[in-house]
């Protein structure tokens, strides 16, 4: 079990690790926008850029390995669209009543590509950014500390829920619940899993909230910082670059619509 303080973070000192969290957050935002607003062909370029960035930070292998998590989802998006895209006309090949259409296949590939790219970019962000640095960097930019903490909790939520889910499955199996086997068995195992995840998490959240309150979290409008998150001059220039990029992407999109 990875600790929740580090979450998905993989310790390192690469150029990507050294960037200020706000710079990376801004770049992530640009990628999300670009995958939807730029022409589909650009997806290949963005994916290659993410791959290259990961490679220079020695994170390409873990990044690609983690692709197996959304693989089923991505594959089903491609298959369902290829077969059932409502505006599909150009039939590539057919098996009896179902046919794969060019429009459907294209739409499926583009949609899956977008989701895949956003997944990879977000993960690369989490791999190279310490949750606490993100919190401090956001607060330093004037984001309310409560809002910043919500962002932090979201980042930490997945590993925490994972650990809890394993503990719950252990406890239910010990009371005779089968969890592997047919689809029906798996579905039946969901209620005894999700119930305690929700209820137990609420109890946890309550105690954590009280503990944070006890440390005067959010009690004062301004807080000070103990650890200073590095923000080298190059980050400032990078952020200017990303913001220009954001404007450019929006301009291309709006221009494209107008054309």
The binding site for other proteins (CB under 8 A) comprises 3-6, 130-132, 135, 145, 152, 156, 164, 167-168, 170-180, 191-192, 194-196, 199-200, 203-204, 207-220, 222-227
Helix segments in the chain, DSSP class H: 15-18, 21-37, 42-56, 60-65, 71-84, 102-128, 131-140, 145-174, 183-188, 190-214, 233-258
Would you say 5 or 55 has its CB closer to other proteins? 5
Q: How far is the CB of 21 from other proteins (least distance, A)?
A: 13
Residue with tokens 């690369």: 124
CB of 201 to other proteins, least distance (A): 9
Question: For other proteins, which is the closer residue by CB, 94 or 191?
Answer: 191
Phi, psi of 14 (to 5 degrees): -70, 170
Tokens of 118: 């956003």
Q: Which is nearer to other proteins, 182 or 216 (CB)?
A: 216
The CB-of-17 to other proteins minimum distance in angstroms stands at 14
- CB of 200 vs other proteins, minimal distance in Å: 4
- Number of neighbouring beta carbons within 10 Å of residue 163: 14
Within 8 A by CB and 6+ apart from 217, the residues are: 145, 146, 149
Instruction: Determine contact, residues 112/76, Cβ cutoff 8 Å.
Output: no
In degrees, to the nearest 5, what angle opens at C-alpha 231 toward C-alphas 225 and 233? 145
Query: How many Å is the Cα radius of gyration of the chain?
Result: 22
Tell me which residue has tokens 């409502």.
86
d(CA 155, CA 207): 19
CB of 69 to other proteins, least distance (A): 18
Closest distance of CB 242 from other proteins, Å: 25
Min dist. Cβ of residue 157 to other proteins (A): 11
121: which 2 tokens? 């970019």
Nearer CB in complex with other proteins: 17/239? 17
Q: Kindly tell me which of 221 and 258 has the beta carbon lying closer to other proteins.
A: 221
Q: CA-CA distance, 194 to 249, in Å (whole number)? A: 41
CB of 214 to other proteins, least distance (A): 5
Q: Which is nearer to other proteins, 13 or 257 (CB)?
A: 13
Give Cα separations from 92 to 96, 102, 249 (angstroms): 13, 6, 33
Q: Which is nearer to other proteins, 79 or 167 (CB)?
A: 167
Nearer to other proteins, 90 or 204 (CB): 204
């Amino acid at each position: 079990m990875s600790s929740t303080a580090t979450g998905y973070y993989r310790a390192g000192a690469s150029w990507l690790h050294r960037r200020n969290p706000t710079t990376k957050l801004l770049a992530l935002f640009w990628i999300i926008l670009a995958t939807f607003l730029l022409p589909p062909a650009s997806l290949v370029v963005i994916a290659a850029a993410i791959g290259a960035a990961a490679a220079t930070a020695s994170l390409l292998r873990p990044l690609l390995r983690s692709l197996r998590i959304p693989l089923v989802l991505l594959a089903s998006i491609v298959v369902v669209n290829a077969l059932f895209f409502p505006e599909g006309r150009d039939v590539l090949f057919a098996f009896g009543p179902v046919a794969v259409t060019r429009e459907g296949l294209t739409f499926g590939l583009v949609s899956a590509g977008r989701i895949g790219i956003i997944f990879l970019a977000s993960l690369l962000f989490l791999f190279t950014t310490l949750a606490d640095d993100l919190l401090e960097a956001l607060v330093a930019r004037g984001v309310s500390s409560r809002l910043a903490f919500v962002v932090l909790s979201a980042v930490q939520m997945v590993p925490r829920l994972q650990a809890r889910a394993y503990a719950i499955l252990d406890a239910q199996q010990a009371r005779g619940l089968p969890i592997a086997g047919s689809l029906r068995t798996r579905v039946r195992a969901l209620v005894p899993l999700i119930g305690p995840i929700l209820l137990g998490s609420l109890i946890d959240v309550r105690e954590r909230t009280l503990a944070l309150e006890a440390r005067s979290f959010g009690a004062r409008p301004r807080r000070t910082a103990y650890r200073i998150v590095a923000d080298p001059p190059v980050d400032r220039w990078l952020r200017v670059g990303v913001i220009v990029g954001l404007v450019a992407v929006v301009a291309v999109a709006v221009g494209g619509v107008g054309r």
